[in-house]
Amino acid sequence: MQVPIVNTQGAQVGTLDLRDDIFNIEPNTAVMHQALVRQLANARLGTVKTKTRGEVSGSGTKMWRQKGTGRARQGQKRAPHWRKGGIVFGPRPRSYEQKMPVKMRRLALKSALSAKAQAGQLVLVQDFGVVAPKTKEMAGLLATVSRARSTLIVLPAGDNSVVVRSANNLPKVKTLHHQYLNLRDLLGYEVVVLPVAAVEQIERHYFGDAAPAESAE
């Protein structure tokens, strides 16, 4: 699959052959959905906790004798129906982690990248050309190359502090190093901007020398 490469002025300066087994497969929406649900579930902390009647503070003795007082019989002040009593069936610490085979996770990532490429929402830039952290320059560059409501910038390995600082204050723009590429960010932003140097690193980091047949599994 050939994708044009543009410079900071938006002019095409060449093309790049992307691997068809990564950027040009039939997107598997079912696997993408499962992978996204897994990622959102794994992000949950599950640290909320309430106290049962055995954990709240207070005396456990009987409040008054069983009969003869004219009041309802009671066992202890820590019972759930009393103020500051224990909670019945309240939330407890738990793990929301979901597991997913590596091949399925890679297929979901391939499907998302292919969907972006096939929809024309994958922009390859030769270089950002930003030498100083200036938000105005980054805003002008993105307005030229993407013209999108939201943009995900995937960065290659190396020192990208200038690009990150230039894009930090832009609304609906996120910078992400290639080793942290994930399904939620790929699907959550309209356009993905990739420097040419990041493409090979993504292919090598996530897929290595995977055979084209792997995408069909």
Average the pLDDT over each of 15-19, 25-29, 84-88, 185-189 and give the range with the smallest value.
Answer: 15-19
**Model confidence at 39: pLDDT above 70:** yes
Joined together, the tokens standing for residue 207 give 């897929």
What share of the chain has pLDDT > 90, as a percent?
Answer: 59
The predicted pLDDT at position 185 comes to: 93
Same-domain pairing of 107 and 8: yes
DSSP one-letter code for 203: I
Residue 210 confidence (pLDDT): 47
In the chain, the amino acid numbered 82 is W
Q: Using CA atoms in the order 12, 177, 203, 190, what is the torsion angle rounded to 10 degrees?
A: -60
Vertex 98 angle, CA 173 and 208, to 5°: 65
Inform me whether the pLDDT recorded for 211 exceeds 70.
Answer: no
Residues 133 and 55 in one domain: no
Q: What is the CATH number of the domain that holds 149?
A: 3.40.1370.10
Q: Which residue has the tokens 């399904």?
A: 183
The answer on pLDDT for 114 being more than 90 is yes
Residue 214 has pLDDT above 50, yes or no: no
Residue 116 confidence (pLDDT): 92
Enter the tokens of residue 107.
């297929």
**Which pLDDT score is estimated for 80?**
95
- b or e along 96-108 (b: 16 or more beta carbons within 10 Å of the residue's beta carbon)? eeeeeeeebbbbb
Question: pLDDT for 121-176, tens place per residue?
Answer: 999 998 887 778 889 988 988 888 888 889 999 998 888 889 999 999 999 999 99
Q: Is the pTM of this model over 0.85?
A: no
Per-residue confidence band for 206, with pLDDT thresholds at 50, 70 and 90: confident
Q: Do residue 108 and residue 166 come from a single domain? A: yes
Write the pLDDT tens digit of every residue in 68-97.
Answer: 999 999 999 999 999 999 999 999 999 999
**CB burial of residue 197 (10 Å; 0-12, 13-18, 19+):** middle
Q: With 70 as the cut, is the pLDDT of residue 217 above it?
A: no
Is residue 85 within 8 Å of residue 56, measured between CB atoms?
yes
Specify whether 91 is located in the same domain as 119.
no
Could you tell me the residue range of the domain that residue 148 belongs to?
2-43+99-216
Q: Do 86 and 125 belong to one domain?
A: no
Nearest to 15, CA basis, from 25, 1, 5, 7 = 5
- Contact yes or no for 110/31 (Cβ under 8 A): no
2 with 18: CB under 8 angstroms?
yes
Compute how many other C-beta atoms are within 10 angstroms of the C-beta atom of residue 161.
Answer: 9
Based on the fold, state whether residues 185 and 91 are members of the same structural domain: no
pLDDT band at 38 (very low <50, low <70, confident <90, very high): very high
**Mean pLDDT, to the nearest integer, of 3-30?**
88
Mean pLDDT of 95-117: 93
Considering the domain architecture, whether residues 198 and 156 belong to the same structural domain is answered as: yes
Q: Using the predicted structure, report yes or no on whether residue 215 has a pLDDT greater than 60.
A: no
β-pair partners for 159: none
Asked if residue 51 lies in contact with residue 93, where contact means CB atoms within 8 angstroms, the answer is no
> Which residues are within 8 A (CB) of 185 and not within 5 positions of it... i.e. 6 or more apart?
152, 174, 176
> SS3 for 49?
coil
Residue recorded with tokens 């996120």 = 174
If asked whether residues 81 and 183 sit together in one domain, one would say no
Same domain, residue pair 155 and 192: yes
Same domain as 105, residue 153: yes
